[in-house]
Structure 1
Amino acid sequence: MLKNLLIKNYALIEHTEISPDKGLNIITGETGAGKSIMLGALGLLKGGRADTKALFDQKSKCIIEGAFDISSYKMESIFIDLELDYEKITLLRREITPSGKSRAFINDTPVRLDVMRKISERLMDIHSQHDTMQLGSNIYQLNLVDTYGKLEGKVEHVFVAYKQYKKTAQAYKQLLDEYHQVKEEFEFNQFQLKELDDANLDDIDQDELEKELEKLENAENIKVALNTVLDALSRSDYSADATIYSAITDVNGLADYSKTLSDIRERLDSCHIELRDIISEIESEEDNLFFDQERIFMIKETLDQLYGLQQKHRVNDLLELIEKRDTIREKVEKVESFDEALLEAETEKKAAYEAMLEISEILSSARKKVIAPLAEQLNATLSDLGMPNGHLVIDQRETEPAASGMDEVEILFTANKGRSPLPLRDVASGGEFSRLMLAIKYILASKTALPTIIFDEIDTGISGEIAIKVGNIMEEMGSNHQVFTISHLPQIAALGSKHYFVYKDHEGISTVSKIRTLDHSERVTEIAQMIGGSHPSEGAYQSAKELIG
């Protein structure tokens, strides 16, 4: 129950604070006085969108704070789940700064808006004129059946199963699309893979082949050069070999004269040995070097194939070509293993669909059980609201399973005896919509523990005796719930346990909206003016007194 509401710097309200009654609270006032501002403020406490345009003073922050008595609503577990401090008198607060920053608090703890919504939706139900028009929506009508039957748990199970089905269906479709795509490329990839495998890339050393080819193609020139080197080193009369050998012979006779000469002889011996090794290697290289046309052809063929493949696959070297081959192999092998993966994905999809279907059928059966008693209660309440000839039927049709189950629900209605019910949105007038919505709220109120219900001109389109009947229903709701209603009808305004009057004050620099509680005599005057205008007659005053009782 809302114990206290503070509105500061919001819309046309500079500052106001009210302490509502636990029963039926009436809000009246002239058109444009700001009666709906309180609904907007409470909407912010329900997690509604904040806007700096709503600030009365653009230089100051806006504060909306509601104190709720939740001591009898068993909400401790919800606070624990949301990691919030539980207080029997819980404070919900929204602040909007001039810069547009919005903050939300529960018991002075900063919270996200989704957390505030989870708490506030258990504290308040705000009904606007827009909600009345939504009554013609099949989605709203389906939600009505689920709320009446307390089927939210089953609806959630269906939603979870539906999400799982959509996930598996999407996975299967993605796999199937991928399969069709790679299937189109499969034969081409097979051809490319065979071409690359036939090239035996793993057995090729491109750098070595290129060096060998260059060597073979220049064999004659290399051979001539090597022979020239050999002539200089060993074959001529004055070769390096002969010269060093002669020097060694000469030094041998001198080695005994000093250690230095002895060391020189040893070094010359070492040079001679090294030179002979070099000569031997050059001779071997020269002997083995010859122009091998067949080998040249074979290497050229291998390299030409390699260069062609590298160009074809747009790679720079052998390593990149091998990586390309391995990628193509993976694609080929993936297609070859697709059948098994597709079968597995399709099996998962079918299992998820069957699970969703089973849960949807359970929900559909539960809905079927509550539709008849809901329609019966609605018809009885509509009769109490002055529509004895009205008849309402709730039609349930099976649809393909979806997020909300496998049902489409449509309310069929006629206000006239002997006429067949037709879709509500096509036949109901504004007043009939209002009474039907009130009947729904009245019935749902008895099914839920919702502490506070707020109506914005739900009495639109009605008058006279019907207004009295509507007021009686609201008064009855007020005996079990805290109810706020913005009304323009004296028959309803007279039934409130507390009456708030909203008016505009033009005395200051800026026009402001104010709200005050009316005492008994002020209520009589206000209701008399609602009956007879700004200058009510004595009869209007008498009627007002009779209505208030």
Structure 2
Amino acid sequence: MLKQLSIKNYALIDDLNVKFSHGFTTITGETGAGKSIFLGGLSLVLGKRADRSTLRDQDNKCIIEAEFEIGSYNLREFFANQELDYDDHSILRREILPSGKSRAFINDTPVTLDVLSALGGQLIDIHSQHQTLKLTEADFQMKVVDALANNRAVLHDFREKLAEYRDGEKQLQALIDRQQQALKDYDYHSFLLKEIEEAKLEGVNQEDLEAEHEQLTHVEEILEQLSQASQTLQDEQMGLLSTLGQLKQICNKLSPFGQHFQTIADRINSVYIELDDLAAEIEQQQESQVVDPARLEKVGATLQSLYTLQKKHAVATVEELLQIKQELEDKVLDTNNLDSQIGEMRLTLDNLRRQLEEMSLSMREQRTRVIPNLVSELESMLKPLGMPNARFKVSLQELPDFASNGKDSLIMDFSANMGSGFEPLKKVASGGELSRIMLVIKAVLARYENLPTMMFDEIDTGVSGEVSNRMGDIMTQMSRRMQVFSITHLPQVASKGDQHFKVFKEDKEGVTHTRMKQLQPEERIVELAEMLGGKSLSESALAHARQLLN
């Protein structure tokens, strides 16, 4: 429910602040008084786009605020999804800056225009000639039928299942595409994997292999050098050990003559021990060196295979090759597993499809049940609205695939005159007829759905007398369940409001301003009398005005 509206620096409005109540509110004013300006300002705070041309004073910003009571609209989830603070009394604010840029706020939190518009659409339904065209749209027509069929809960579940089903279809197609590509690559990946497996890389140390290959390749040269080293150390005449042994004996004879001679003798003895151990090591190496052409060939082949694989896969280590091997194993295994994954996904989709079919059938049965009642009710409500011969033919047509509303499309044909055939509503109904049809549809919907505040913008244009009186009655009945506004030129409608506002222009200090005020009982009588008989008030017009109010 709209509780309060504040508009500053917008078009001909410098500062407007009005409060509204529950029930039926009527808004009147002469042509050009600014009712469209009021509606335009309200549209801005509901998310309509604007530019700086709307500013009354081009040097100051325009600020529009609307306070709503939203406790009955089930909007907590919306606020949570948008990360907004929820309050049963929420304020929407729009600012148009002199630069032309705009800002939007919900409860003082900045939001995008899309978020403001999404919330605004759930708070106020502005019914204008443009909005009347929605009546000819299949989705809106289906919404009306579903409201009467009480399909809201199953439709909510259906749409969640349908989203899951569509997502599953995408996943299945992705798996099929992946399988097709995997099958193309399967032979190649298998060949690469076999190459690496045949190299038997587990436990291979590339550095050790390279060292062994180097040693096997130069084994004869190594033996020759070791022989010379051994001879240098152990030759009986000139060997280092023989010479060092003599030096050791000499120094041992000096050791009794002082500590420093003893130290020298100990050091020479240590060198002799180390050199003797070195000679034994060289001799051991001589014995271990073997000329082994077969081993050399095997190590060389292993290394060559390793180098070939590393070059092929653009890596430099055995560890990297083993990682590639694991990746190839995963790809080959993945190819083998895709069949089962595709099978499982198809089973899941079959199950979802069965559920969707059942839901679609359930909704179709409910729709089929209520359509005759809807047709009868619309036709009976339109009779007193100057459409005594209005007839509807509403039918369901099964779709080949699921849509957002199930598997049905709704066909609503209309005939306004006796003897005329049925045609699609948008082809044969005039603008005035569409407005009246929309009014009765909204009245029907109000009994089944918690509708937002309804703003009827001159829906009664082109009608008068008893028809306008009946339209006013319908809006009054709607206002028992919801807040209803009617911007009207008809006194019969204006008189039915629980509160009555007048929009008017005022010239002050050479500047025109649009004002809006709530009329008191006597002011209301005068306004209705002027609507009935013009500015020159007559007693009969005043009496008629009083009669309308009573």
The verdict on a shared fold, with TM-score over 0.5 as the criterion, is yes
Summarize the Cα distance change of 1:505–1:347 in structure 2 as closer, same or farther, 3 Å threshold.
same
> What is aligned with 2:423?
422
The CA distance in 1 between the partners of 2:539 and 2:421, in whole Å, is 43
> What is aligned with 2:308?
308
Stretch deviating more after TM superposition (184-193 or 493-502): 493-502
> What is aligned with 1:249?
249
> What is aligned with 1:458?
459
The CA distance in 2 between the partners of 1:286 and 1:162, in whole Å, is 82
The CA distance in 2 between the partners of 1:180 and 1:485, in whole Å, is 62
The CA distance in 1 between the partners of 2:331 and 2:69, in whole Å, is 64
> What is aligned with 1:410?
411
1:244-270 CA distance string (max 9 Å, x none): 111112223333333443343333232
The answer on whether the counterparts of 1:4 and 1:68 sit within 8 Å (CA) in structure 2 is no
> What is aligned with 1:446?
447
The CA distance in 1 between the partners of 2:168 and 2:394, in whole Å, is 34
What are the ranges of 5 or more consecutive residues in structure 2 without an aligned counterpart? none
Stretch deviating more after TM superposition (77-86 or 132-141): 77-86
Match among 492, 513, 521 for residue 526 of structure 2: 521
Q: Secondary structure at the match of 2:202?
A: helix
Percent of residue pairs bearing the same amino acid type: 32
Q: What does residue range 220-239 of structure 1 map to in structure 2 within 5 Å?
A: 220-235=220-235, 237-239=237-239
How far did 1:395 drift?
A: 1.3
> What is aligned with 1:48?
47
Q: What does residue range 369-518 of structure 1 map to in structure 2 within 5 Å?
A: 369-399=369-399, 400-448=401-449, 450=451, 452-462=453-463, 466-478=467-479, 481-489=482-490, 492-493=493-494, 495-496=496-497, 498-507=499-508, 511-518=512-519
Stretch deviating more after TM superposition (426-435 or 265-274): 265-274
2:103 pairs with 1:101: yes
How far did 1:391 drift?
A: 0.5
1:420-469 CA distance string (max 9 Å, x none): 32221222111111111011112223334557421012234545664454
Summarize the Cα distance change of 1:286–1:501 in structure 2 as closer, same or farther, 3 Å threshold.
same
Q: Secondary structure at the match of 1:389?
A: coil
Letter in 2 for 1:191: F
The answer on whether the counterparts of 1:44 and 1:94 sit within 8 Å (CA) in structure 2 is no
Q: Secondary structure at the match of 2:93?
A: strand
The CA distance in 2 between the partners of 1:16 and 1:528, in whole Å, is 29
Q: Secondary structure at the match of 1:201?
A: coil
Q: Secondary structure at the match of 2:460?
A: coil
> What is aligned with 2:327?
327
Q: Secondary structure at the match of 2:354?
A: helix
Q: What does residue range 8-23 of structure 1 map to in structure 2 within 5 Å?
A: 8-20=8-20, 22-23=22-23
2:260 pairs with 1:264: no
Stretch deviating more after TM superposition (450-459 or 504-513): 504-513
Q: Secondary structure at the match of 2:355?
A: helix
Letter in 1 for 2:16: T
Q: Secondary structure at the match of 2:414?
A: strand
Letter in 2 for 1:380: S
The answer on whether the counterparts of 2:454 and 2:484 sit within 8 Å (CA) in structure 1 is yes
How far did 1:383 drift?
A: 1.4
TM-score, with normalisation over the residues of structure 2? 0.85
2:334 pairs with 1:299: no
Q: What does residue range 137-176 of structure 1 map to in structure 2 within 5 Å?
A: 137-176=137-176
Q: CA RMSD in A?
A: 3.7
Stretch deviating more after TM superposition (272-281 or 357-366): 357-366
1:321-361 CA distance string (max 9 Å, x none): 11111100111112222222222222222222222222232
- Number of residues of Structure 1 aligned to a counterpart in Structure 2: 535
Summarize the Cα distance change of 1:235–1:547 in structure 2 as closer, same or farther, 3 Å threshold.
farther
How far did 1:541 drift?
A: 5.8
Q: Secondary structure at the match of 1:36?
A: helix
How far did 1:366 drift?
A: 2.0
The CA distance in 2 between the partners of 1:442 and 1:357, in whole Å, is 32
Letter in 2 for 1:65: A
Q: Secondary structure at the match of 1:254?
A: helix
Letter in 1 for 2:157: H
Summarize the Cα distance change of 1:49–1:345 in structure 2 as closer, same or farther, 3 Å threshold.
same
Q: Secondary structure at the match of 1:281?
A: helix
> What is aligned with 1:532?
none
Stretch deviating more after TM superposition (193-202 or 252-261): 252-261
Summarize the Cα distance change of 1:75–1:425 in structure 2 as closer, same or farther, 3 Å threshold.
closer
